[in-house]
Amino acid sequence: MNGEIIETEKALVSAMEPIHLGIFEGIKAYVENDVNSRGVLNIFRWKPHVDRLWRSAAVCGMKIPYTDEELLEATRKTIGANGFDTNVYIQPRIWPRAGTPEKVHVIVPAWTFETVLGKDNPRFSKNRRLMISSWRRIASDALPAQTKAWANYANSALAMREAERLGYDGAIFLDNRGFVSEGTGACIMAVRNGKVITPPVTASILESITRETLLKTVSDDLGIPVEVGDISRVEFYASDEAFLCGTGWEITPITSIDDLPLGKEYPGTVTNRIAEYYTDVVAGKVEKHKEWLTSV
Ligand code: PMP
């Protein structure tokens, strides 16, 4: 926190801090070779995550007082101080300081998480009933939807609360035009007639790094056609498969939307193939994508 390694319970600020213009990032480090085991960790796609952090700061008029290299060092030190040897989630947070908004707090918390990835992982194939939220995804002329501003997540939290209240496992937003936008913290991909389709950035989505990773690999490496385009609610209901993709949600299959089951098998063949490949990529098992890994 602000340049020092500090125990979580001692990482304190005043309750009077202005928090509405904070930004953050969500990054993962995976165990090399086997994401369900212990061992050496590599951060997945550090550079695009840190670039997005800078863009989020720029949009909110904040300056990060550290270089990329210093943030990476802070991340490595935090993971080292915790002695982690299983998969880690890293969530740098930055917000203006009370009284001196031109200065910011920078903290780099990290914690372990349970992945849905990996062979025969029951967390992956668990049934997930999602609903279309009655909340629309924030329009990017109201809040900076393409960045990771905390304020955007009030939108996600309202949609999640509604879903929980109604007994669903999660929610999908439509954008302000009525087209499918994204999940509450992940992008969405649908599979129709063997083709993967994902909404465009103009559907108020976050510029997701996982989505970009899949756009780069699914067609080139797996030979599955991919298209970026608007998806109507009806097309979404009539998909053969759908899954959430994001750093946090990884590749998470969806069983049904508004209780309408998707396709004939769950998880679907295409979702399975993509998840297996993504697992290999983050674990450093795909030689040509090893440059996406940064050792801890
Ligand atoms: N949309 C939202 C709102 C998110 O919070 C996230 C997670 N960062 C994503 C999409 C997926 O983005 P990424 O693949 O970069 O994690």
23-24 sheet: strands from edge to edge: 23-24, 93-97, 100-107
Instruction: Write the DSSP string, 139-200.
Output: PTTTS-TTS-BTTHHHHHHHHHHHHHHTT-SEEEEE-TTSSEEEESSSEEEEEETTEEEE--
Note the pLDDT of residue 19: 81
Query: What are the pLDDT tens digits along the chain (296 aa)?
Result: 999 999 999 999 988 888 889 999 999 999 999 999 999 999 999 999 999 999 999 999 999 999 999 999 999 999 999 999 999 999 999 999 998 989 999 999 999 999 999 999 999 999 999 999 999 999 999 999 999 999 999 999 999 999 999 999 999 999 999 999 999 999 999 999 999 999 999 999 999 999 999 999 999 999 999 999 999 999 999 999 999 999 999 999 999 999 999 999 999 999 999 999 999 999 999 999 999 999 99
DSSP code, position 279 = H
- Ligand 1 centroid–CA 34 distance in Å is 24
- Work out which ligand 1 atom sits closest to the CA atom of 52: 15
- Ligand 1 centroid–CA 163 distance in Å is 19
293-295 sheet: strands from edge to edge: 110-112, 88-90, 27-31, 41-44, 293-295
- Ligand 1 centroid–CA 182 distance in Å is 9
Pocket around ligand 1 at a 6 A CB cut-off = 26, 182, 185-187, 206, 208-211, 246-248
- Asked if residue 137 lies in contact with residue 204, where contact means CB atoms within 8 angstroms, the answer is yes
- Ligand 1 centroid–CA 118 distance in Å is 21
What is the number of residues in the chain?
Answer: 296
Note the pLDDT of residue 15: 87
Note the pLDDT of residue 253: 98
Catalytic positions are 148
Report pTM.
0.97
- Tokens 């396709």 label which residue? 263
Packing angle of the helix pair 209-217, 269-282 (nearest 10 deg): 110
The closest alpha carbon to 189, from 135, 150, 227, 139, belongs to 227
- Work out which ligand 1 atom sits closest to the CA atom of 48: 15
Distance CA 34, CA 21 (A): 38
SS3 per-residue string spanning 188-255: EEEEECCEEEECCHHHCCCCCHHHHHHHHHCCCCCCCCEEECCCCHHHHHCCCEEEEEECCCEEEECC
CA angle at residue 208 from 203 to 214, to 5 degrees?
105
Note the pLDDT of residue 86: 98
Distance CA 137, CA 142 (A): 10
- Tokens 């952090």 label which residue? 53
Note the pLDDT of residue 268: 98
Ligand 1 pocket test, candidate residues 55, 138, 187, most atoms within 8 A of CB: 187
Radius of gyration, alpha carbons of the chain: 19
